[in-house]
A and B are shown apart, each in its own frame.
Chain A
Amino acid sequence: MSWSRQVWHVFMKDVREQKWVLALYVALLCFGTMQGVRFWPIDGDSEPFLPLLGSAVMRAVAAYLAASLILGDSPNSPRAYWATLPFARSAVFGAKVLGFVGLLLTAVAAFIPPLVQLEVSATQLWLQLLNFSVAFSALLVATAVFASVVSRLRYVLLVPLAAIALMIGGLVVVAKRGFVLQYDLSSAVVLVVIAGALGALAFVYLTRRVNVTQRSLTLVPCALLLIAPFAVSGFGPVAPVIEPARITGIAPSISLVVGDAAYRMGSQIPALQLQTSGRFQLDGATPATRVELRTRYATTVDALGNDRDAVGFDISRRLVEPALPIDPDVRWIGADIAGSTGTFRQSVSAVSLSREEDSIHTAAISRIRTEGRFEFRTPRLLGSVAASRDTAFAHDGVHLRIKRGTLAGAPVFEVQTMAVLNAPDGVERVSGALDHLSFALVHDEHREAVKLSFQRSSSSVGGSLLAPLGISRGSSMLVAEPSLFYAPVRPDSISAVRALVTPEWLRGARLVIYEWVLTGTSPVNISSAIGRTSAGD
């Protein structure tokens, strides 16, 4: 029997042995595919609880299958039947890899119809599937490697426990850019670990030598692989890193404010809220660039320089909002459309046990330190729809439908939104805010425009059983509220909108949708002391 036939022979034996579990796996994926395809148009009242549960079950079944494939022909058991049969050991290993590939491809195939239905672009489709494949392969390989050095299925259950123990350390090393590693290498790390783990698995199959040290070492790639879904930032177009020197200049008016009303009683634990604010001079930004500060880490620092963990901080702050591209002869209503530098404001919460301790803590805090990155984006016109009920818009996996529109002083639209969770640039489209989109009402005849903002949004996140990395959906309110975006705000902004936007005006207007395309990032550390702040890369 040739090597390839041996591989196929063992593979088919595995399929026969696991046919019922495989049937469950395929049924779950089919269910997910059907749900995904039917996900749009949105039924706004239903919550995607089942897909979330199904997603977890699907992954658990996949892990069970991966472990069963290995334990079915265990490479380390002294009672392994397969090892006494006339097989090339490499053929048995090849059959196991073929099994993993089969599990992966089945899942990938199941995700294609929902993604096509969501009208994602080809690039987005491949990126979604690639990112899913890496994370899913990590799960399969981690389980398989662990199963290869244990003899019973129940021991495989130790993987999650071991992973939890090692997750904290792993996350610090792999995921926390700038803390240990200077660059986010998580995607590459996972690939290398997958390759290494497969190599280890091949070694175990070919030599059938597994000692205590090897068993212990197995936990390391297992843990790394299992945390991969949390650590991976994903493949996709990488925005260039802008030279830090171009954004180091800052205005000196940063201050630390500890207000009297800073106490918050949440869950019976008083939290002390501290706030820094100021203004950056962002040399790297052009007038057409939106600048956001995304904070990844924040801590308070006492007088002795010791870090005290913060329990909450702002994830994202928009610092600069440029004008949206629009025909030169169209007039924006209610705002100064010139791009401007924005204020920087940072909130950090710290826990203390009592007011007495709070005062001690407050006195001890000398500075707040945050670490994150600036993101630079430019607007791109995606398209427009009539500003009337039930009109819909779809672009690259982003779906939007106007559920209702009113004019209560200012135009208000309730829109239903749905998007694949990750945009091509890796920015999560979670919480329904569709952060990377902007909306405006444009009246072509009157040559007037109104910028809309999200006033309120409620959203739910669909599980990965609908798409490789999940789908978010929900309802959002789009409201003309110029003060949120344009600074300086003209005092007559809101009244101007109310005066000019009438039902007749609205009937002649169209809703224009813009996308904010990531053009660059830059790491930043901010250290704010009372009365003094410095920032740098």
Chain B
Amino acid sequence: MAVIDVHDLTHRYGRHQALRNVSLSINAGSVYALLGPNGSGKTTLLQVLVGLLPATSGQARVFNTPVQSLTAAHRARMGYVAEGQQLPPRLTLSQLERYLAPLYPTWDTALATSLRERFQLDPSRQIRTLSRGEHMKAAMLCALAPRPELLLMDEPFTGMDAVVKDDLVRGVLELSGREGWTVMIASHDLAELDLLSDWVGFLDKGKLQLHETMDSVRARYRWVEIMTSDLEARLPNVRPPGWVWAEQAGPRVRVLVNEPDDAVLQRSARTWYPSAARVEVHEASLRDVFVALTRSGQAALSTGAQANQAGSHAGSQQEVA
């Protein structure tokens, strides 16, 4: 059952179109990684989903309810964490917890205490005196303590050290797995997302370019490393089918491809580099996919020998299984 259902969603800031006809659906229990370069519309999408921004057109539904009609009861089942969130600055953390607890029937005081200790937050400190990282941890605490069915997080790892990040990822994984939370995370911490998520979406210039399971992404996107005999190998002038991004250094060419079939990959590589001494296929990390997709969408920023406007991305929307 879809917890989040977005259909043809568009949001404009004046003339700037932040989201362009985005459609996606996220089922209960999924951990969804929302990727995209800066300004791609990730934060806007989350803000629309949580009801902070109105949609210019299209529809966004959460818990099968249009976001503009979400009631207090719906919100009590949701948690939202965002960088720069305006927590009440003059309340101490313990006052903030006492303020929030009565609002959530599911507020877990023990979990709040446990998170506070794990995050090493002083409950007597005012929110405004917290550092950026501590502020984020406090926001995270407030979002997790109610044990929300739906957790929306926008750059939640900002300012956190590696140990806390790791703790948090494990904690969210554990809770979401055990309690069936649905989690949507927009972040640049790709290593953490790689661990956390089972679904991934890629937004670029407001358009959803990718929306599929992590397994599918891992299966489809791979690095092909071609060792040519030519010391100054040239990249193809025409984008070969399935090539998302290519870079070349001397006789070595690396291509991120969107093709699950090894035989097809080998054939394609040999077609362009008939004298290749070696063709190897490697798994691509989420980071590799993100960087390649981002660069392929921003050819001008490419540092490769030639920008390959490649990538027949998974443009078509898929229902999350």
Contact = CB atoms under 8 A, between A and B. Distances in A.
Interface string A80-120: 11011111100000000000000000000000000000000
B72 interface: yes
B101 to A, nearest CB: 11
24 contacts: A1-B102, A9-B99, A13-B99, A16-B90, A16-B91, A16-B95, A17-B89, A17-B90, A18-B90, A78-B47, A78-B52, A81-B86, A81-B88, A84-B50, A84-B51, A84-B75, A85-B100, A85-B103, A86-B73, A86-B76, A86-B103, A86-B104, A88-B71, A208-B54
B87 interface: yes
A81 B103 contact: no
B86 A88 contact: no
Interface in A37-94: 72, 74, 77-81, 83-88
Contact of A88 (B51, B72, B100, B104): B72
A79 B103 contact: no
B85 A79 contact: yes
A209 interface: yes
Which of A72, A79, A86 has the largest count of B CB atoms less than 10 A from its CB? A86
B249 interface: no
Given A83-B52, A84-B51, A17 B78 contact: no
Contacts of B85: 79, 81
A77 B103 contact: no
Interface in A148-193: none
A72 B88 contact: yes
A77 B86 contact: yes
Interface string B62-101: 0000000001111110101010111111110001000110
Contacts of A79: 52, 82, 84-86
Given A13-B99, A79-B84, A208-B54, 4 more contacts: A16-B95, A81-B88, A84-B50, A86-B104
Interface string B123-165: 0000000000000000000000000000000000000000000
Interface of B: 47, 50-54, 71-76, 78, 80, 82, 84-91, 95, 99-100, 102-104
B52 to A, nearest CB: 5
Contacts of B91: 13, 16-17
A77 B54 CA distance: 12
Contacts of B102: 1, 9
Contact of B75 (A72, A77, A78, A85): A85
A209 B54 contact: yes
Contacts of A83: 50-52
Contacts of B99: 9, 13
Nearest to A3: B72
A32 B95 CA distance: 33
A462 to B, nearest CB: 35
Contacts of A1: 72, 102-103
Interface residues of A, number: 22
A150 B113 CA distance: 36
Contact of B103 (A78, A80, A87): A87
Contacts of B75: 84-87
Contacts of A6: 72
Contacts of B82: 79
Given A16-B95, A79-B85, A84 B72 contact: no
A87 B71 CA distance: 8
Interface in A390-409: none
B86 A74 contact: yes
Which of B54, B73, B74, B86 has the largest count of A CB atoms less than 10 A from its CB? B86
A86 B89 CA distance: 19
B312 to A, nearest CB: 34
A17 B86 CA distance: 13
Contact of A86 (B52, B53, B72): B72
B246 to A, nearest CB: 39
Contacts of B72: 1, 6, 86-88
Contacts of B50: 83-84
Contacts of B88: 13, 17, 72, 81
A406 B150 CA distance: 88
Contacts of A209: 54
Contacts of A72: 88
Given A17-B90, A78-B47, A84 B80 contact: yes
Contacts of A18: 90
A87 B75 CA distance: 8
Contacts of A13: 88, 91, 99
A213 to B, nearest CB: 12
A80 B99 CA distance: 16
Contacts of B52: 78-80, 83-84, 208
Interface in A8-30: 9, 13, 16-18
A18 B75 CA distance: 27
A147 to B, nearest CB: 14
A17 B72 CA distance: 23
Nearest to A211: B14
A80 B47 CA distance: 10
A81 B91 CA distance: 13
B91 to A, nearest CB: 6
Contacts of B89: 17
A18 B91 CA distance: 9
B73 A81 contact: no
B156 to A, nearest CB: 14
Contacts of A81: 85-88
A1 B104 CA distance: 9
A489 B53 CA distance: 79
Contacts of B100: 85
A145 B72 CA distance: 25
A74 B52 CA distance: 11
A17 B104 CA distance: 21
Contacts of A88: 71-72
A472 to B, nearest CB: 40
Contacts of B103: 1, 9, 85-87
Contacts of B53: 78
Contacts of A84: 50-52, 75, 78, 80
A88 B75 CA distance: 10
Nearest to A18: B90
A86 B86 CA distance: 16
Contacts of B95: 16
A77 B47 CA distance: 11
Which of A9, A78, A208 has the largest count of B CB atoms less than 10 A from its CB? A78
A81 B99 CA distance: 13
Contacts of A208: 52, 54
A79 B83 CA distance: 9
Contacts of B47: 78
Nearest to B89: A17
A13 B103 CA distance: 13
A386 to B, nearest CB: 60
Query: Closest 9 CB pairs between A and B?
Result: A86-B76, A86-B75, A86-B72, A17-B90, A84-B80, A86-B103, A81-B86, A78-B52, A79-B86
Nearest to B50: A84
B72 to A, nearest CB: 4
Contacts of A78: 47, 52-53
B127 to A, nearest CB: 10
Contacts of B84: 79
A209 B102 CA distance: 28
A16 B89 CA distance: 11
A82 to B, nearest CB: 8
Which of A6, A77, A81, A87 has the largest count of B CB atoms less than 10 A from its CB? A81
